[in-house]
């Protein structure tokens, strides 16, 4: 549904990211990304890869990512969820602008420094990481480490129905388990707008609305 129609009919805007499953291989990914290119006029703005990182290392998708980038799509990738820090490096080599999860980056100080320097957003999913076993316990989750080392992180639900969580719950967990202050949580919320693939003018509009609302809390 085109953006304007969705907004007029429901008061909701939605941008799409088409995600390919890594273990299906680069050929299947190219098909998914081709569909994304064909539907750019229907608010498809980006592509990514998810699934089994060990069966589908990022290097396999170099040509598919180049194709998507050449056709004006933004780039994301799940990485460092069930594979090591090399998976995150590989995603960066694909020119991914955002990284889903990124847990394994904590094993590599040079990588954490690179993420912080380049301000590559990490999409942190606390409940998901616990329930998939990607993180053995939330007490060992690197979210606070990343924040303290200057990495741009955002809080996310992954799949809220599957993992029985909500965005409000993820913020609550972050505060209870890692000592994020209200001001820290506001920073994380602002990060979510900054890291989005919204046009710059829409980002600014939403950030201004957020700041105005935060000033009254």
Cβ proximity of 152 and 194 under 8 Å? yes
Which positions are annotated as active-site residues? Answer: 81
Nearest Cα residue to 199 out of 11, 29, 15, 51? 15
Give the DSSP H/E element, type plus range, for residue 208. helix 200-214
CA 67-104-177 angle, to 5 degrees, is: 120
């Amino acid at each position: 549904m085109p953006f304007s129609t969705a907004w007029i009919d429901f008061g909701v805007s939605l941008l799409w990211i088409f995600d390919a499953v890594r273990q299906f291989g680069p050929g299947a990914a190219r098909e998914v990304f081709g569909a994304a290119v064909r539907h750019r006029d229907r608010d498809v703005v980006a592509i990514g890869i998810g699934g089994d990182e060990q069966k589908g290392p990022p290097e396999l998708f170099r040509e598919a990512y180049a194709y998507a980038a050449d056709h004006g799509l933004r780039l994301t990738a799940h990485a460092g969820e069930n594979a090591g820090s090399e998976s995150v490096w590989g995603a960066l080599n694909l020119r991914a602008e955002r990284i889903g999860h990124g847990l394994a980056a904590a094993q590599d100080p040079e990588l954490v420094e690179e993420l912080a320097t380049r301000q590559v957003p990490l999409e942190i999913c606390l409940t998901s990481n616990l329930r998939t076993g990607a993180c053995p316990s939330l007490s060992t989750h690197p979210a606070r480490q990343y924040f303290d080392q200057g990495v741009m992180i955002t809080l996310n639900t992954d799949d809220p129905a599957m993992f029985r969580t909500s965005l409000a719950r993820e913020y609550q967990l972050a505060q209870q388990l890692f000592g994020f202050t209200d001001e820290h949580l506001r920073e994380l919320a602002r990060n979510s707008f900054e890291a989005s693939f919204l046009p710059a003018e829409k980002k600014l509009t939403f950030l201004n609305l957020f700041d105005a609302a935060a000033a009254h809390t």
